[in-house]
């Protein structure tokens, strides 16, 4: 994962690198560093957050610079493994996102030539490879090094004595902000405060930038990449008084859903979908859950496959890939494989211009705005809104009005329930039908944010094994709207309650029987049964958020995770 930021312009380089990198911390936050170059190369790096390592850094030489926030893949998070990585003469500094698959082989070759390695990272081979060929000139040396790399990379590099940032991209995100100055970054959000003009660096692009000059080539030929204007603004990507991005994003759901449903492209895309014999959905994490929910409500022949499990076995039909970031490595691998098997690719994505949008034949968007919190919240409900609307349109209907505002008013009530949950080690989530998926999503959020063991089951499966785990006071979150599954769910709730479980019931506000069975009850409005996952996942997001708060976890930056999973 990791975040890369580079800057060449007339501003204060160290300050701009710090500010840009701060907005990329959601991509990784176990160590940070920067390198600023002119006649001399200055660098700093250490384990810790961007604030821990890079607050108030100034260097005497202040020409162009690169910075990095890390999510460890190879080597522990510590000072030596932090980026930038340098050659032994400290002339070449490199920051990298991705995985160099052949690094061991390259490292052995370089060691035989006398290079001395300090870190356990795959990245460190890059500055050594560049240094090997500096006599050819900086850009030639950079190109020669990149040509030897296998795997995925977004690389930024500075070299002593030069005012250029060298960069290369293959399978890892890299974008360029332009406003006279240049901002090279893993994500648009990091430079939105300075510019909305974006150049999307393409696969296998390699080039350099310096004040007032940009050069890119692909396959040995110079290419001219034009800027696009992005609609997101900086305010949308800021916390605006909320304690955490996640809380802000939970509260932005009414607008995110409405904006998503207002997109007229849903109509033409539903026509396209209705002509298909088969659709294979492939996605990861929460986006996979959105696809799974569609399978429960749609009559379209659908297969839903976790992206990392997608293989040659899945043949026939078109592919729909769902992703917030459009940069998830597992998802992109699945899509590339599907393309090689001649599947047409459709994508439902939140980030405009992301890699997935460029791989796909047809793209529709969720219009949720930037999502910074690692947990998917508003993008999940926006994905559900888009998918359920597509399904309704295929059936010649449209969705009833969606109003989730009354649920958002329950924040305090849900916070008080989370105080009980925070005292447990294990939590069960039960649902039936499409709300099995709601249970899965609720449990995922609880694991991700509060680090509590959470299991999701279809109510009917309890008796086939997991009931043995139910014991006195074990919290069971029961998702029980007044739909066709309600009566059977009530039976399942009775089963766990009679074995001592503590029931947190979510259901229709006037469901007296459920209220009676519940130790805590979250009253929900009457909702069309096909829309229940969209409504019911919101209190579950809040439950995880507040449980994390009670346990003093940072919900925006859960341990071991990063927002955009750009490595397989
Ligand atoms: O950007 P994507 O939607 O492709 O991301 C997929 C998953 O990594 C993501 O949904 C993850 O599961 C969430 N952080 C969970 O809240």
- Residue closest via CA to ligand 1's atom 4 equals 323
Give the residue among 41, 50, 57, 28 at the shortest CA–CA distance from 154: 28
- Regarding the beta carbon of 286 and ligand 1, being less than 6 Å apart is answered yes
- CA dist 222 and 305 (Å) reads 39
Position 562 pLDDT exceeds 80: no
Over residues 99-108, the mean pLDDT reads 94
Question: In CATH terms, are 3-236 and 239-402 the same topology?
Answer: no
Per the CB < 8 A criterion, the answer to whether 378 and 253 are in contact is yes
Atom of ligand 1 nearest to the CA of 380: 10
Q: Mean pLDDT for the chain?
A: 93
CB-ligand 1 contact for 366 (6 Å cutoff): no
User: What is the rounded CA–CA span in Å between residue 279 and residue 554?
Assistant: 38
Q: Which of 27, 173, 189, 284 to mutate to test the pocket of ligand 1 (most atoms within 8 A of CB)?
A: 284
Under 8 Å CB-to-CB from 549, ≥6 apart: which residues? 415, 418, 555
Q: Which of 293, 328, 348, 557 to mutate to test the pocket of ligand 1 (most atoms within 8 A of CB)?
A: 328
The fold adopted by the segment(s) 405-568 is Rossmann fold (3.40.50)
**CA 375–ligand 1 middle distance (angstroms):** 7
Mean pLDDT over residues 210-238, rounded? Answer: 88
Give me the mean pLDDT over the 258-267 stretch.
93
Instruction: Give 249's Cβ-side CA count (13 Å radius).
Output: 25
* Ligand 1 site, residue 448, Cβ cutoff 6 A: yes
Active-site positions? 2, 563
Residue 379 Cα: closest atom of ligand 1: 3
Which ligand 1 atom lies nearest to the CA of residue 374? Answer: 14
Give the model's confidence band at 442: pLDDT under 50 very low, under 70 low, under 90 confident, else very high. very high
Q: What are residue 539's phi and psi, to 5 degrees?
A: -60, -30
289-332: per-residue pLDDT in tens? 999 999 999 989 999 999 999 998 888 889 999 999 999 999 99
User: Which ligand 1 atom is nearest residue 377's CA?
Assistant: 16
pLDDT tens for 450-463 read 999 999 999 999 88
Indicate if the pLDDT at residue 114 is higher than 70: yes
Minimal-distance CA residue to ligand 1 atom 11 = 285
Give the CATH H-level superfamily of domain 239-402: Glucose-6-phosphate isomerase like protein; domain 1 (3.40.50.10490)
Q: What percent of the chain is modeled with pLDDT above 70?
A: 99
What is the rounded average pLDDT of the residues 509-530?
A: 96
Where residue 1 falls among pLDDT bands split at 50, 70, 90?
low
Asked if residue 72 has pLDDT above 90, the reply is no
Helix (H, G, I), strand (E, B) or coil at 358: helix
Contact yes or no for 474/430 (Cβ under 8 A): no
Q: 325 alpha carbon to ligand 1 midpoint, in Å?
A: 8
The pLDDT value recorded for residue 354 is 87
pLDDT tens digit string along 153-183?
999 999 999 999 999 999 888 999 999 999 9
Interval between CA 283 and ligand 1 midpoint (Å) = 9
Tell the residue nearest (CA) to atom 8 of ligand 1: 285
Q: Report the pLDDT averaged over residues 15-29.
A: 88
Q: What's the pLDDT at 32?
A: 96
Domain definitions of the chain by residue range: 3-236, 239-402, 405-568
Contact 32, 68 (CB under 8 A): yes
Residues 69 and 51: their CA atoms lie apart, in Å, by 11
Distance 443 CA to ligand 1 centre (A): 14
The answer, yes or no, to whether any atom of ligand 1 lies below 6 A from the CB of 123, is no
Please tell me the distance from the alpha carbon of residue 566 to that of residue 325, in angstroms, as a whole number.
Answer: 10
Percent of the chain at pLDDT > 90 equals 82
324 Cα: distance to centroid of ligand 1 (angstroms):
7
Q: What is the pLDDT averaged over residues 16-41?
A: 89
Q: How many residues are given for the chain?
A: 568
| Band of pLDDT at residue 61, cut at 50, 70 and 90 | low
List the helix and strand counts (H, then E) for the chain: 18, 25
**Is a pLDDT exceeding 80 seen at residue 150?**
yes
CA of 164 from ligand 1 middle (Å) equals 35
Ligand 1: centre distance to CA 565 (Å): 8
Instruction: Give the residue, by CA position, lying nearest to ligand 1 atom 7.
Output: 285
Say if CB 190 and CB 3 are below 8 A apart: yes
pLDDT for the residue numbered 555: 94
- pTM of the predicted model over 0.85: no
Which residue has a Cα nearest atom 12 of ligand 1?
Answer: 285
CATH of domain 3-236: 3.60.20.10
509 CA to centre of own chain: 34
Q: 350 in ligand 1 pocket by Cβ < 6 Å?
A: no
Ligand 1 site, residue 377, Cβ cutoff 6 A: no
Q: Which atom of ligand 1 is nearest to the CA of 376?
A: 16
pLDDT (mean) for 369-375: 90
Least confident interval from 60-69, 124-133, 215-224, 421-430: 60-69
Least confident of 70-79, 242-251, 279-288, 312-321: 70-79
For 349, half-sphere exposure in the C-beta direction (CA atoms, 13 angstrom radius) is 23
| pLDDT of 560 strictly over 80 | yes
Q: Please determine, for residue 279, whether its predicted confidence score (pLDDT) is greater than 90.
A: yes
């Amino acid at each position: 994962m990791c975040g890369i930021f580079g800057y060449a312009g007339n501003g204060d380089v160290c300050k701009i690198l710090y500010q840009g990198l701060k907005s990329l911390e959601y991509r990784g936050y176990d160590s940070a560093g920067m390198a600023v170059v002119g006649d001399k190369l200055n660098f700093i790096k250490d384990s810790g957050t961007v604030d821990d390592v890079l607050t108030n850094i100034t260097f005497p030489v202040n020409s162009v610079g690169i910075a990095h926030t890390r999510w460890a893949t190879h080597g522990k998070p510590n000072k030596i493994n932090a980026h930038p990585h340098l050659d032994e003469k400290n002339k070449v500094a490199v920051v990298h996102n991705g995985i160099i698959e052949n690094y061991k082989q390259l490292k052995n070759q370089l060691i035989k030539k006398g290079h001395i390695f300090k870190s356990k990272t795959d990245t460190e081979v890059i500055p050594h490879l560049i240094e090997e060929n500096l006599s050819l000139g900086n850009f030639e040396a950079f190109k020669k090094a990149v040509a030897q790399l296998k795997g995925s990379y977004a690389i930024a590099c500075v070299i002593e004595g030069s005012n250029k940032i060298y960069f290369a991209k293959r399978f890892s995100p890299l974008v360029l902000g332009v406003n006279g100055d240049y901002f090279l970054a893993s994500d648009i959000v990091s430079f939105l405060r300075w510019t909305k003009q974006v150049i999307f660096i393409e696969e296998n692009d390699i080039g350099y930038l310096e004040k007032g000059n940009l050069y890119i080539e692909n396959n040995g030929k110079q290419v001219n990449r034009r800027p696009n204007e992005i609609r997101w603004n900086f305010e949308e990507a800021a916390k605006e008084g909320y304690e955490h991005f996640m809380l802000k994003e939970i509260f932005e759901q009414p607008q995110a859903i409405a904006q998503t449903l207002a997109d007229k492209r849903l109509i033409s895309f539903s026509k396209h979908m209705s002509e298909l014999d088969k659709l294979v959905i492939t996605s990861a994490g929460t986006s996979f859950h959105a696809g799974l929910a569609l399978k429960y409500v749609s009559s379209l022949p659908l297969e839903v496959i976790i992206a990392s499990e997608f293989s040659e076995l899945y043949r026939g039909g078109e592919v729909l890939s769902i992703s917030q970031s459009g940069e998830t490595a597992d998802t992109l691998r699945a899509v590339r494989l599907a393309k090689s098997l001649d599947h047409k690719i459709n994508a439902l994505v939140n980030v405009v211009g992301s890699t997935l949008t460029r791989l796909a034949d047809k793209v529709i968007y969720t219009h949720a705005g930037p999502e910074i919190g690692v947990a998917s919240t508003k993008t999940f409900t926006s994905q559900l809104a888009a998918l359920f609307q597509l399904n309704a349109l295929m059936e010649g209907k449209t969705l009833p009005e969606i109003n989730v505002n009354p649920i958002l008013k329950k924040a305090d009530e849900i916070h008080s329930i989370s105080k009980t949950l925070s005292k447990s080690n294990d939590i069960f989530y039960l649902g039936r039908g499409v709300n099995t998926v709601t249970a899965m999503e609720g449990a995922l959020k609880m694991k991700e944010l509060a680090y509590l063991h959470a299991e999701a089951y279809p109510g009917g499966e309890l008796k086939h094994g997991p009931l043995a785990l139910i014991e006195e006071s074990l919290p069971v979150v029961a998702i029980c709207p007044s739909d066709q599954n309600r009566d059977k769910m009530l039976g399942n709730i009775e089963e766990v309650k009679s074995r001592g479980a503590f029931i947190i019931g979510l259901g229709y506000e006037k469901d007296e029987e459920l209220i009676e069975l519940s130790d805590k009850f979250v009253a929900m409005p009457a909702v069309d049964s096909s829309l229940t996952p969209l409504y019911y996942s919101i209190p579950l997001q809040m439950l995880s958020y507040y449980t994390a708060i009670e346990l003093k976890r940072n919900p925006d930056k859960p341990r071991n995770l990063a927002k955009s999973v750009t490595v397989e």
